[in-house]
A and B are shown apart, each in its own frame.
Chain A
């Protein structure tokens, strides 16, 4: 019927440009890395189980119109604090992880609430504010890890303590809880190693998100994400709902980080949380989400694509440049670049749509006069 609504390959590509670029890079990198399909796949499965949970933390704030929640770093930090205690008290395996969760979640609720309060005062600039909050939290966390621990709270285990005798080590071996979740229920299918319980947790989370969207709270978040003014005049508690979105996101980030670290087996005490934040943001954007729209599918696609590149790029770099470092740099660089690209594209699209909407009365805007008008407006 309507010829304009038919599938247009060009439009599809331009709408999903970030995903397409990433896919192209991966496809180029795979043959150079000379890695076998089985190797890549089994690695992907492992990494998927490791990090998918973290990325889900970003969905709700996007739905509530708050953009990418860079402040999820706060939740990841809470998870790490939980783990520090679990290791220090030498609680092993799943019990250790549960202890870490029991410490981390209440802390996350508090941090998320605090963060939500701040973001409500920085309406329209949530992303950059969240980013700065992450740095602020870094300071508090370092103070806690380096001074409070070992001074107010005694450290019991030698392996946790810095060699200097106070504070928590820069790199913490998580031996006692390593694989605490992954190793409980395992299935070996040919060359592939399937951590069923971890998958179960992720599946449960997916169901939770699907269910949550159908609840009143989820519905309110969608409404607020589209128009805060209208939602407010309909009596929806806008501020409270936004805080809830952030609190849930922070809790998920906390649990996600615990799952991530139990798989890795060691943690950069003062750096891992930040990497978690960058990784999750990059993954969801690469998966095709925008600052205003994200689905479960975006998470899956993003996690697989980002990891495919992480797996292949360093090796491809080694093959091409004879240096694994270059490959490592490349994948880090691409990671950050993709966040920047996605954000710029989003701003550009917003501007274009606003222009189109306003074009109804606008005359022929030649560049000069538009610039001049802007210059005039500044005065």
Chain B
């Protein structure tokens, strides 16, 4: 709970990117051991505000900011993140910053390794000390256990599922001894609800030890669950700063958007009886998401949901079918076999995939938004190209590319300055919308989407789901959607399969009782359509 003397206060922070105002006179305080929930729509300025606090170089490079930051009663002006770290501020960024070929231990202790001195140190300095691997491992294990998760300290980051990468990053911040304030920018976006629950537990623990936390999330119930105080940003202004007591998810959503949020109405199109995708005895070796034996049919024009708890294998299914991880078994699309373990061939089959791991792959960050949206369609289908000299050369069709980008900026409400803005200048949530737009632009016959609304704000969530439904209806696109949010699945799917221990525990209609889904997820009951374990 908050102490009388506050740890951090932000006073009148303003920031613009070349005239584009993204923060305006933001003021709030953070008490010791207090958890602040920072919320706002995609592009409201949350990440930018945290970058200012953390002294990130992009801020100075783009003209600095206005306002004062007070830490422990003293004004601070960090010129680099290292100053912020020295002052006891830890930050987990929206993008991962881990070294892929290093183990969890090596990443957690990166540049703070335990060392044993030796004679060489006296001559050549501290860096000649030998690493004390045993101690590093204990430290890593301790930081991991403080988070209350199961994570092998010796596993390579490149072999970890997304959720574990997030825990590794948070463990790294916790391992720092002087940390007073932890900034977590959408740490739960890549986590499933159960993993998020674990993280929230450990946030409470850390707060109880006196560490203050600024927590950014689009999952508003988490904010209500864990925060002491809520700060709402709308279009760069702090419109609310209130204790969490008595506040409802609906209240926050309304403050964020500044108008009433409408729920999406569910109106499903009818789908044919014809089997379109047939999967038989699929196994997938995806670390942390192993699929053991899965069989199911998806009808033409159906939206098929796949749910289940974290680590049970639901993510493995699309990743395996798309050839991104070693897989075996049989799959056929429209009666022709789908080649496994061959990502190139699969794509010839009019299948597209929006991966749950959108941070690493997919976007060309230095390119413009329109180029990013059109790129895949251009490569796959030769669209947006004008043949010159009887097809000897092809030029990019700037006009149709622009139209395409504009169409998606409108449908998905992507917040940007226009189709020519570069992808890296967009906020995290808006980048994810581009990933979706890319896949939509392909108009595939079968679309796999994995966690489509992750990192996307409440208002935009409905838009994304609505777009999926519209494409399904208008173009007869068959969609397989993997999500850890049951409500989301129930709102748009025709049928929902629940995966448990790498097998399908059962397939239910969206109208089934929540309790029934719960039973399948907990492995209590095996449904009639299921593949008996």
Q: Is B379 a contact partner of A365 (Cβ separation < 8 A)?
A: yes
Q: Is A360 a contact partner of B361 (Cβ separation < 8 A)?
A: yes
User: What's the dominant secondary structure at chain B's contact region?
Assistant: mixed
A211 to B131, CA, bound (A): 10
Q: Is B111 a contact partner of A236 (Cβ separation < 8 A)?
A: yes
Selected from A4, A234, A356, the residue in CB contact (under 8 A) with B111 is A234
B326 at the interface (CB under 8 A from A): yes
Contacts of B82 in A (CB 8 A): 235
A362 to B345, CA, bound (A): 11
Known: A216-B115, A217-B128, A231-B99. A360 touches B362 (CB 8 A): yes
Q: Is A216 a contact partner of B379 (Cβ separation < 8 A)?
A: no
Selected from A229, A357, A360, A369, the residue in CB contact (under 8 A) with B97 is A229
Cβ contacts B378-392/A at 8 Å (1 or 0 each): 111110010000000
Known: A360-B355, A372-B385. A217 touches B328 (CB 8 A): no
Binds A, one of B184-192, B294-302, B346-354: B346-354
A370 to B50, CA, bound (A): 40
**Least distance between A307 CB and chain B CB atoms (Å):** 32
Chain A minimum-CB-distance residue to B125: A217
A153 at the interface (CB under 8 A from B): no
A359 at the interface (CB under 8 A from B): yes
Known: A361-B435, A379-B396. A373 touches B343 (CB 8 A): no
Q: Is B99 a contact partner of A216 (Cβ separation < 8 A)?
A: no
Q: Is A361 a contact partner of B130 (Cβ separation < 8 A)?
A: no
Selected from B99, B115, B285, B347, the residue in CB contact (under 8 A) with A226 is B99
A8 at the interface (CB under 8 A from B): no
What number of residue pairs across chains A and B have CB atoms under 8 A from each other? 143
Q: Is A360 a contact partner of B343 (Cβ separation < 8 A)?
A: yes
B322 at the interface (CB under 8 A from A): yes
Cβ contacts A336-379/B at 8 Å (1 or 0 each): 00000000000000000000111111111110111011011101
A14 at the interface (CB under 8 A from B): no
Q: How large is the interface on B (under 10, 10 to 19, 20 to 34, 35 or more residues)?
A: 35 or more
Selected from B328, B341, B361, B382, the residue in CB contact (under 8 A) with A372 is B382
A3 at the interface (CB under 8 A from B): yes
Contacts of A214 in B (CB 8 A): 130-131
Contacts of B378 in A (CB 8 A): 369, 373, 376
A222 to B113, CA, bound (A): 14
Cβ contacts B56-83/A at 8 Å (1 or 0 each): 0000000000000000000000000110
Chain B minimum-CB-distance residue to A371: B394
A360 to B357, CA, bound (A): 10
User: What's the dominant secondary structure at chain A's contact region?
Assistant: helix
User: From residue 174 to 217 of chain A, which have CB atoms closer than 8 A to chain B?
Assistant: 211, 214-217
User: From residue 76 to 110 of chain B, which have CB atoms closer than 8 A to chain A?
Assistant: 81-82, 85, 97-102, 106, 110
Q: Is B348 a contact partner of A360 (Cβ separation < 8 A)?
A: no
Contacts of B379 in A (CB 8 A): 362-365, 369-370, 373
Q: Is B127 a contact partner of A217 (Cβ separation < 8 A)?
A: yes
Contacts of B128 in A (CB 8 A): 215-217
A370 to B396, CA, bound (A): 11
Contacts of B435 in A (CB 8 A): 361
**Least distance between B61 CB and chain A CB atoms (Å):** 15
A312 to B64, CA, bound (A): 67
Selected from A3, A236, A359, the residue in CB contact (under 8 A) with B328 is A3
Chain A minimum-CB-distance residue to B362: A361
Q: Is A363 a contact partner of B113 (Cβ separation < 8 A)?
A: no
Interface centre among A5, A358, A369 (most CB of B within 10 A): A369
Q: Is B385 a contact partner of A376 (Cβ separation < 8 A)?
A: yes
B53 at the interface (CB under 8 A from A): no
A2 to B394, CA, bound (A): 44
Contacts of B439 in A (CB 8 A): 361
Chain B minimum-CB-distance residue to A377: B396
Contacts of A359 in B (CB 8 A): 323-324, 343-344, 347
Task: Report the 6 A-B pairs with minimum CB-CB distance, sorted nearest first.
Answer: A363-B380, A372-B394, A376-B396, A359-B343, A4-B326, A369-B382
A sample of 12 cross-chain residue pairs with beta-carbon separation below 8 angstroms, ordered by A number, consists of A223-B111, A226-B101, A230-B99, A235-B85, A235-B111, A236-B111, A359-B343, A361-B376, A364-B347, A373-B378, A373-B385, A376-B378
